[in-house]
Amino acid sequence: MATINGKDIKKLVVACDAGMGSSVMLASTLRKQLGKSGVTVEHTPVNSIPADADLVVCHSGLAARARSVAPSKPIVPFQIFLGDPAVTKIVKAIQQGSDINV
C-alpha cells in the first residue's frame, strides 16, 4: 500500500470502460467539489490513462485493468458512482492536504 498526500494531487483521472454516463457524472461531481483546490479532473477510457495523472479513480471492476495500463499510478477503486466512501476520502484529503492510502 502506498501513500499520497492530497496536496500533491494536481490531476485526477476518472477512468471508465465504455464511457458510461455514471462515470462522466462522477467526473463532473469531482470537478465541482475540487474546483477551488486547483485540481484538474479528467474522464478517460481505462486503456488511455494519461501519463501525467497523479491519481486514478475507477470502478472496482476495472481496477486490475487500470493497474496493468498504468502500473506506476495510484489507483483508487470504488463500488458506487455517487457517495462512495473511497471517493469521499479522496476529496477530503485533497481539500485538507492529508494523506491517502492507496
Residues assigned a catalytic role: 16
Burial 3-21 (b: 16+ CB within 10 A, else e): ebebbebeebbbbbeeeee
Q: Which of the 8 DSSP states describes residue 17? A: S
Phi first, then psi: what are they for 80, rounded to 5°?
A: -120, 150
Q: Are strands 99-101 and 3-5 parallel, antiparallel or unpaired?
A: antiparallel
